[in-house]
Structure 1
Amino acid sequence: MNGFDFPFCNARLTALGSGALWWPEQALLCVSDLHLGKSERHARRGGAALPPYETRDTLTRLAADLARVPARTVVCLGDSFDDGGAALALPEAEKLWIAQLQAGRHWIWIVGNHDPAPVDIGGTNLAEFRQGGLVFRHIAQADACGEVSGHYHPKAAINLRGRSISRPAFLLDSARLILPAYGTYTGGLRSRAKVLCSLMRADAHAILTGARPVAIPMPR
């Protein structure tokens, strides 16, 4: 399993190369910003046509992560669906696939700004979730401590052999952890963005995803 282990607020966590967060002590897997159904939402609203394969691709990667770790709890940190209509429009095969992934697990949907209304696709809908001293919510709050959030789709760049390589990234400091977007059709916000620099402390790190996750000082 490719991952980067790190301590956070008395917890030992692993940033997986896929962009998921694994908490072995609590048998908890956390993912953020799946944006399932984005191609359907674009078509419904008259936007650019996107190949309608992103939901299956995202679920394939999530299924692979769940096959690698013995997760008893799964936390989806909001914007799991691109909007409420996208949740309703999921094909029955994909709804069944989600139900299969949920089977035998405590599955938590955190509400996001794209999917603020509860979804009726199994699991539990919550505004936030607390476990073992950590709080899981969609959008970071000021002065939070032990907070795990998403929303911003952070990414960071590293120079390798004279080339700048940009990847989705976890942002980490002593008080908060912001997860990268997990969904296939999700863009990213560079860690140099003003909002991310204002949220993260001066000693923050970025953990770049990929085959070999690597931690670097957060580019600002």
Structure 2
Amino acid sequence: MRNVHSFSFAGARLTARPSGALHWGDRNLLVVSDLHLGKSERIARRNGPLLPPYEVQDTLRQLQKDILETGAAHVVCLGDSFDDLAAAQALGEDHRAWILRLMTGRRWTWITGNHDPGAPGLPGDTVDVLTLDALTFCHIATDLDRAEVSGHYHPKAAIQLRGRAISRPCFLRDSRRLILPAYGTYTGGLRTQDRALADLMGAGARAILAGQPMVEIPMPR
């Protein structure tokens, strides 16, 4: 696939994909963050606006595509895989079966998030933190002195492309943090100029915009 963006982080050769997924080829590992499956159900349950209830199907279709294109043997979900515990428990049988098919024949790790405690009723390993070689996978970036891959913030950035401003989800990276964009269909975004991200990322941080074409720029502040 041509429209990907490869880079090095903490000695690992990684590939950012236009969907917002991260591929670690040497480990045959696919990483996604913040699927927020069941968000439309959760909003409706709390008397919010009725959204078209297709985001689970759309997100799983994209995840299936990334798994097939990379041939990943191990999938890591970096937390907030479900919009809340009730959304996980309300997952339709067809969608649950779809997830089980995606899990078949490969290792699967659910990182706990602030929205969910993992994936109740589904197999795989549920952990707070996963360390592989020099990389530590967690939901929210910390101040610990380690090379972290995390999610949570749903970063997005804007550039001028062909004479107009384009805003997209983005990966953020500096010398010791790599933050993935939200993968789920109904997940909003936090601009990189927001204080939470501006204070978190180092001075030389870069943003890799997902979508087509993929573009790497200095992190907008």
Fold agreement, TM-score > 0.5: yes
Superposed counterparts of 1:196-215, under 5 Å:
196-215=197-216
In structure 2, distance between residues paired with 1:101 and 1:118? 14
* Alpha-carbon displacement from aligned partner over 1:74-112 (angstroms, at most 9, x marks no partner): 000000000000001011000000000000111011000
Note if contact 1:36-1:54 (Cα within 8 Å) is conserved in structure 2: yes
Counterpart check, 1:133 vs 2:134: yes
Aligned position for 1:45: 46
Residue type at the aligned position of 2:55: E
SS of 2:110 mapped into structure 1 = strand
Indicate yes or no: 2:220 matched with 1:219: yes
The corresponding residue for 1:164 is 165
1:13, 1:189 → 2: CA distance? 23
Residues 53/144 of structure 1: CA separation in 2 closer, same or farther (3 Å cut): farther
For structure 1, which segment, 137-146 or 23-32, has the greater mean C-alpha deviation from structure 2 after superposition?
Answer: 137-146
State which drifts further: 151-160 or 141-150: 141-150
Aligned to 2:108: 107
Partner in structure 2 of residue 73 of structure 1: 74
Deviations 1:35-60 (A, max 9, x none): 00001111111111111000000000
Q: 1:4 to 1:117 in 2, by over 3 A?
A: closer
CA offsets 1:8-39 (integer angstroms, 9 cap, x no match): 00100000011000000000000000000001
Equivalent-residue separation in structure 2 for 1:217 and 1:140 (angstroms): 20
* Corresponding residue for residue 123 of structure 1: 124
State whether residues 7 and 14 of structure 2, in contact with CA within 8 Å, keep that contact through their aligned partners in structure 1: yes
CA distance in 2, matches of 1:144, 1:99: 36
Q: CA deviation at 1:191?
A: 0.5
Q: CA deviation at 1:118?
A: 5.2
Say yes or no: does 1:11 pair with 2:12. Answer: yes
- Which residue does 1:174 correspond to in 2? 175
Asked if 1 retains the 8 angstrom alpha-carbon contact of 2:16 and 2:22, the reply is yes
Q: Give the 3-state SS of the residue equivalent to 1:125 in structure 2.
A: strand
CA displacement at 1:120 relative to structure 2: 1.9
Measured in 2, the distance between the counterparts of 1:129 and 1:175 equals 16
Quote the offset at 1:160 in angstroms: 1.4
Matches within 5 A, 1:51-90: 51-90=52-91
For residues 51 and 110 of structure 1, the distance between their equivalents in structure 2, rounded to whole angstroms, comes to 28
1:195 aligns with 2:196: yes
Query: How far apart are the structure 1 equivalents of 2:109 and 2:118?
Result: 14
Name the counterpart of 2:23.
22
Structure 2: unaligned runs, 5 residues or longer: none
In 2: Cα distance, 1:92 partner to 1:117 partner: 18
Structure 1 CA distance for aligned equivalents of residues 153 and 126 of structure 2: 21
Q: Could you say what the CA RMSD is over the residues aligned between the two structures, in angstroms?
A: 0.9
SS at match of 1:203: coil
- Deviation, structure 1 residue 143: 3.6
Gaps of at least 5 residues in structure 1 are none
- Residues of 2 paired with 1:154 and 1:29: CA distance? 19
1:106 corresponds to which letter in structure 2?
Answer: R
